[in-house]
Structure 1
């Protein structure tokens, strides 16, 4: 098996990386950062997001494993004191995995060019100066005219991240689909939107057609791929979203209950 390590720069993550690398060498696993079969991330969910985008062109060849060295993460199953147990699981690996859906995003510009992105958590579009105005199409049919701060489009596993903070629903990670959540929409006698999150199925295509070409910013997995969408005479016209053909795979050596994580993270000691 070929293994790679992807870590953040904290002192604790650096310490765990050295320990893990030594154990990998000791048991005879092959370390290969260029063409790994298993990528072990050390840090938190942000580190795993970075690793995901670093290896995005090799997703069908890689399974991820996350070690968290700080607060509990939704993508990180192992603690920093479980290195020996993790290495034992790597040695005994039989190819077990669990997969989750991803989000395809296409940005269509005024000059006819198209940029393509893939999100593990979410994509967002907002206007940083004024109210954002766009037409929302579902399967090529006009659904509503949105006015507000912006829109967040998230995957099931990303529903506990930024999506939740803007009032989106938490989706079961076994669902195949994606979600649209509003950011501070304007709802009055003149302007009206649905005003609630919308969960789409696996075959749905969502399109956003912008009314104003100035001062928009879009993101893919938040800070990881932040882009200003206007450059000279080239400006963003449309964004489209749908469930990706690709998936992310995690090497699951033990079961981690998603709803227990949700409870621990957001509710705490409820009985």
Structure 2
């Protein structure tokens, strides 16, 4: 089996990464950073997000597993003291593949500029570079509302516990093929009106964000923020691609939610 290790870069993560590589070398697994079958992320959820985007071009061939060296994360579920157990599993145990949906974001522009397409594991957020944004929101080709406010967050189910939750969005089980649209400080009065609640859209629905006036936008795809000019529309939908996680033991999602937000 071909593998690679992605580290957060701090001392503890580097030491654990080197230990994992040494153990896997002893089991005669092949280190291959270009075409790995399994990517071992050592750090936190942010480290796994970066690893996902580094290998997003080969999601059908690559699975991910995370070792956390800080706070317990939703993606990094193995602890540093379990490294030997994890390595033994990787080397000797056929692992189960769990697939979770992703968000496909397509940005189109005025003029001759080609459209751009992105995949998000957690979310895409849209904000203006100056002041509020004003956008028509279309669902399945029909105008739903005109949004005025600080911005919008469009999240995957597995990303629903991140920025989406901070905005009052619902926590969704990551196996659901949906995406969620949450508002950031919408303007609601007698003149302007939005739904005021997060929207959960199914796999066959497409959400289109169309700026009312010319403006520059901060579009964030997971950890990466891009300044976008001359935006005609931002289309969001459940992607055809899925992220694949290598599972060697049960991974109870609701237990993780409880541990992260209730019992500590």
Shared fold, TM over 0.5: yes
Matches within 5 A, 1:46-65: 46-65=46-65
Distance in 1, matches of 2:237 and 2:62, equals: 22
State the distance in 1 between where 2:188 and 2:262 align.
Answer: 31
Hey, what's the Cα distance between the residues in 2 that align with 1:42 and 1:95?
19
Aligned residue number for residue 251 of structure 2: 256
Question: Per-residue displacement from partner, 1:86-139 (whole Å, max 9, x unpaired)?
Answer: 011012232421010000000001124201000000001111311110000000
What secondary structure is seen at the aligned counterpart in 1 of 2:189? coil
**Corresponding position of 1:201:** 202
Q: Distance in 1 between matches of 2:140 and 2:161?
A: 26
Deviations 1:8-47 (A, max 9, x none): 1111000101111110111111111111100000000000
Whole-Å Cα distance in 2 between the matches of residues 203 and 92 of structure 1?
39
Q: Which runs of 5+ in 2 are unaligned?
A: none
Q: Name the CA distance, whole Å, in 2 between partners of 1:52 and 1:139.
A: 29
SS in 2 for 1:77: strand
**1:81 Cα deviation (Å)?**
1.0
Partners of 1:75 and 1:40 lie apart in 2 by 11
1:268 matched to 2:263: yes
In structure 1, distance between residues paired with 2:105 and 2:145:
20
Runs of 4+ aligned residues of structure 1 deviating over 2 Å after TM superposition are none
Relative to the length of structure 2, the TM-score reads: 0.97
* CA RMSD in angstroms, aligned pairs only: 1.0
TM-score by length of 1: 0.95
Paired residue secondary structure (2:53): helix
Q: Secondary structure at the match of 2:144?
A: strand
Distance of 1:100 and 1:264 partners within structure 2: 21
Counterparts in 2 of 1:64 and 1:33: CA distance versus 1, 3 Å: same
